[in-house]
Amino acid sequence: MPLPPLASPAIGVGTWAWGNQFLWGYQPGQDRALEACFRRAVALGLHFFDTADSYGTGRFNGRSEVLLGRFAAALPAEQRQMICVATKLAPFPWRLGRQGLEPALQASRRRLQGKLDRVQLHWSTARYAPWQEAPLLQGLADGVGAGVVPQLGISNFGPEGLRRIHGLLAQRGVQLSSVQVQMSLLAPQAIGPGGLVAVARELGVEVIAYSPLALGLLTRPAGELPPLPSGPRGWLFRRLWPNLQPLLARVEQIASGRGASMAAVALNWCRAHGAMPIPGLRSEQQAEAAAAAMTWNLEPAERLDLDRLALSQPAQARMPANPFGSR
Ligand SMILES: NC(=O)c1ccc[n+]([C@@H]2O[C@H](COP(=O)([O-])OP(=O)(O)OC[C@H]3O[C@@H](n4cnc5c(N)ncnc54)[C@H](OP(=O)(O)O)[C@@H]3O)[C@@H](O)[C@H]2O)c1
């Protein structure tokens, strides 16, 4: 049976940087700007917020959830109800068995001040501890049955893993809401026949595209190497830059033809493939640029052109794959 045409998904907000000093240079002095970003995002219709119990480095561990919980609690009740806060629980090796995620779930709910709408398993353990995964998911499915896990999602699973987990939950009558995957013009592996996007669409599972701006690389105009961010991001920018020029030039061309930002073009490429991008945002201006992308769609010819350029990028010019991703 032919599948229905794709509706244009919304755009969400990623909060990995909120509390991450190591990669993103977080300082508590940024909290005021982060709250302004959050409020602007909510006001402009960016209603899905992604966080994780492992976000925040060193003494800031858990900070992303703490900030989201605080910001959401300060919203008027009707806005608070409108947004969806999704956390990811990490399947650390010591979190074992059907009740293995229960303390983590309670801790996340506390940090989020009760505003927890979706729980996602952060990554698949299929590559290194295949026995760990099913009991953890059964435990989360128990939580759905008991009403303590409103919605359930997974993250960093490939098409095979998605089928496996969807089947496991379907046997219990539990719906899998979403699957999260690294997806951008520099990580296009999920598109194409038999890929994650196609399987998710067949199963009726929402696809969430993480790192849709390739950590910001896709927002830099082609040409000279731009000023490098500090730390590992700078190293990545320097390594990938020489091979990105035709792709960035085309993104820039589409953006300037519409008076849009390059970020909007990169986000709309994800949406054109039926995925909801969750760009990492830290300022009101970035929230505005992301929201502006929801006002237009790529033309099919533009999408095809970007597909061709993305898929023909040499392997060394793509984003590194998540080491915990399963097939
Ligand atoms: N499931 C997983 O394993 C997983 C893994 C990674 C990420 N994620 C989720 O996905 C979210 C997004 O991914 P990400 O944070 O890795 O990277 P990203 O969204 O690809 O890129 C974030 C970067 O984009 C820049 N940016 C945002 N809007 C911009 C605009 N309008 N113009 C110019 N630059 C802009 C930001 O700039 P500044 O540096 O100036 O702020 C930041 O550097 C995360 O926050 C997290 O919630 C999930």
Domain coordinates in residue numbering, the chain = 13-317
pLDDT tens digits along 177-195: 999 999 999 999 999 889 9
Q: What is the pLDDT of residue 324?
A: 79
Q: How confident is the model at residue 4 (pLDDT cuts 50, 70, 90)?
A: low
Residue keyed to tokens 């987990």: 165
For 61-79, what is the mean pLDDT? Answer: 98
For 66-88, what is the mean pLDDT? Answer: 97
Q: Is the pLDDT of residue 6 over 70?
A: no
Residue 272, burial from CB neighbour count under 10 angstroms (0-12, 13-18, 19+): buried
Q: Is the pLDDT of residue 116 over 90?
A: yes
Atom 39 of ligand 1 has which residue's CA nearest to it?
216
pLDDT tens digits along 258-297: 999 999 999 999 999 999 999 999 999 999 999 999 999 9
- Catalytic residue of the set 26, 55, 128, 210: 55
Q: How confident is the model at residue 137 (pLDDT cuts 50, 70, 90)?
A: very high
Q: Is the pLDDT of residue 322 over 90?
A: no
Helix (H) or strand (E) holding 289: helix 284-293
Q: Is the pLDDT of residue 3 over 60?
A: no
Q: Is the pLDDT of residue 42 over 90?
A: yes
Separation of first and last alpha carbons in the chain: 26
**φ/ψ of residue 298, rounded to 5:** -65, 145
Contact 280, 242 (CB under 8 A): no
Atom of ligand 1 nearest to the CA of 210: 10
Q: Is 55 a catalytic residue?
A: yes
Atom 14 of ligand 1 has which residue's CA nearest to it?
211
For 115-132, what is the mean pLDDT? Answer: 96
212 lines ligand 1 (CB under 6 A): yes
For 18-42, what is the mean pLDDT? Answer: 97
Hey, what amino acid is at 249?
A: A
Return the best residue to mutate from 54, 67, 180, 281 for the ligand 1 pocket (most ligand atoms within 8 A of CB): 281
263 lines ligand 1 (CB under 6 A): yes
DSSP string, 255-283: HHHHT--HHHHHHHHHHHTTEEE--B--S
278 lines ligand 1 (CB under 6 A): yes
Whole-number Å distance, alpha carbon 72 to ligand 1 midpoint, is 20
261 lines ligand 1 (CB under 6 A): yes
Atom of ligand 1 nearest to the CA of 279: 19
Cite the beta strand spans of 41-105 per DSSP E. 48-50, 84-89
Whole-number Å distance, alpha carbon 237 to ligand 1 midpoint, is 14
Hey, what amino acid is at 202?
A: E
Average pLDDT, the chain: 95
322 lines ligand 1 (CB under 6 A): yes
Q: Is the pLDDT of residue 1 over 80?
A: no
Report the interhelical angle of 284-293 vs 262-272 (nearest 10°). Answer: 40
Q: Which fold has domain 13-317?
A: TIM Barrel (3.20.20)
Q: What is the pLDDT of residue 132?
A: 97
Q: What is the pLDDT of residue 315?
A: 87
Q: How many CB atoms lie within 10 A of CB 321?
A: 11
